[in-house]
Structure 1
């Protein structure tokens, strides 16, 4: 039987985490690519991400909902759904699936 590939984004997914798991896959001065694993985590009440860089994010497994402070309608993301979040667009995670890990691929880049 072949060994699991640690370079596979679905390798060794935890069932339950106290906090999101973030693995930096690639980082240069102009780009950062992260694998994020959530197991029901969401943003704290009143917290908004306000990032210096833009972010393109895709959900590969699981589900999640993003909300935006500027009144942009919330986005429920299922596998394959992606969104670009411009730098300084305040956003938060309302919920992630608690029944299975949610696996995100996030690409951060200069605005």
Structure 2
């Protein structure tokens, strides 16, 4: 079935939206739409699966353990997050939605 990544965009800017686009054994692809959201200051992701993220629209900054600088993502920028690497979303664009794809591999 043909679908469009930019169709049926969430309209509630108060909440970040996570939508699975594909979920098959060993692989999950999700669309994330952020409206200025970020991780709480005391929260870190530390996942059991590898993750590759790409920003399609907007911008984001990731804080990653072991890096002194933030990982700044603009449209087209992508970043590999191996399983077990602690990371958090430092910020997303305030002036419009940030649309990402996250590919999770177990």
TM (normalized to structure 2)? 0.91
Residue 35 (str. 1) matches residue 16 (str. 2): no
Per-residue deviation at 1:46?
A: 1.2
RMSD: 1.5
Question: How many residues are aligned here?
Answer: 105
Gapped runs of 5+ residues in structure 2?
Answer: none
Tell me the equivalent position of 2:50. Answer: 54
Max radius of gyration: which structure? Answer: 1
Shift of the alpha carbon at 1:29?
A: 1.8
| Pairs within 5 Å for 1:1-111 | 7-14=3-10, 16-71=12-67, 73-110=69-106
Structure 1, unaligned stretches of length 5 or more?
Answer: 1-5
Q: TM-score, normalised by structure 1?
A: 0.87
Q: In the aligned structure 2, how far is the partner of 1:106 from the partner of 1:63?
A: 14
Paired residues of 2:10 and 2:17 also in contact (CA < 8 A): no
CA distance in 1, matches of 2:84, 2:64: 11
